[in-house]
Amino acid sequence: MSLLKHPAVNILFRSFMSAIYSFVFIFTAGHMEFISILSHGKTLNSDFWNGWSDFLKTGNMKFIGYLIIGLTVVIIVFILLKRTKQYDEYQVSILAKSLLVAGVLSIIIVPFLMVMLLSDPNYSTEIIFLFATIQWVGVLVSYILFAVRS
């Protein structure tokens, strides 16, 4: 918890994780091996999942990677402009809760993904990428709101 008091540690952690997520999203966008593991055709009668699968197949996941990079840059700029030396206990509590929520979501999704893969592997890759997108973009947006308000 004491590490969360330092804005530089928060910047490093979020930058490192954002670099990993954006690299995966940008690198896999349009990669032929990635496209080959996506569901083929209109397997489900769901416009949402078919649209998300088409979004991934056309290589548009790189834009999500660029969005992650952009949000991370905005966070770094806000933190550097505020020039806060250390966060107080209230701010650390908010940061800890946001990271806890992201961690709990990750833990909850693992058994769900295992059951899904065992029962019907169609659209499993799409669901994993959708979850990763929602989770990390949600973490970054919540941190931007935190940085603006603090």
Every domain of the chain and the residues it spans: 2-149
- Report d(CA 55, CA 61) in Å as an integer: 7
> Residue 1's pLDDT band (boundaries 50, 70, 90)?
low
Residue 135 near residue 6 (C-beta atoms within 8 A): no
Of 132, 7, 15, which Cα lies nearest the Cα of 71? Answer: 15
The contacts found for 1-9 with CB under 8 angstroms, 24 or more apart, are 1/92, 1/96, 4/87, 4/92, 4/95, 4/96, 5/86, 5/87, 5/92, 6/86, 6/87, 7/79, 7/82, 7/84, 7/85, 7/86, 7/87
- For residues 21-30, average pLDDT: 91
- pLDDT on residue 84: 65
Torsional sign, CA 31, 138, 43, 119: positive
Of 104, 124, 105, which Cα lies nearest the Cα of 115? Answer: 124
Average pLDDT, the chain: 82
Helical (H) or strand (E) element with 96: helix 89-119
pLDDT digits (tens, 9 = 90+) for 57-93: 888 999 999 999 999 999 888 888 876 667 777 777 7
Residue 30 near residue 59 (C-beta atoms within 8 A): yes
pLDDT digits (tens, 9 = 90+) for 33-43: 888 877 776 76
pLDDT digits (tens, 9 = 90+) for 96-148: 777 787 788 778 878 887 887 777 677 778 888 888 898 888 888 888 887 77
pTM above threshold 0.85: no
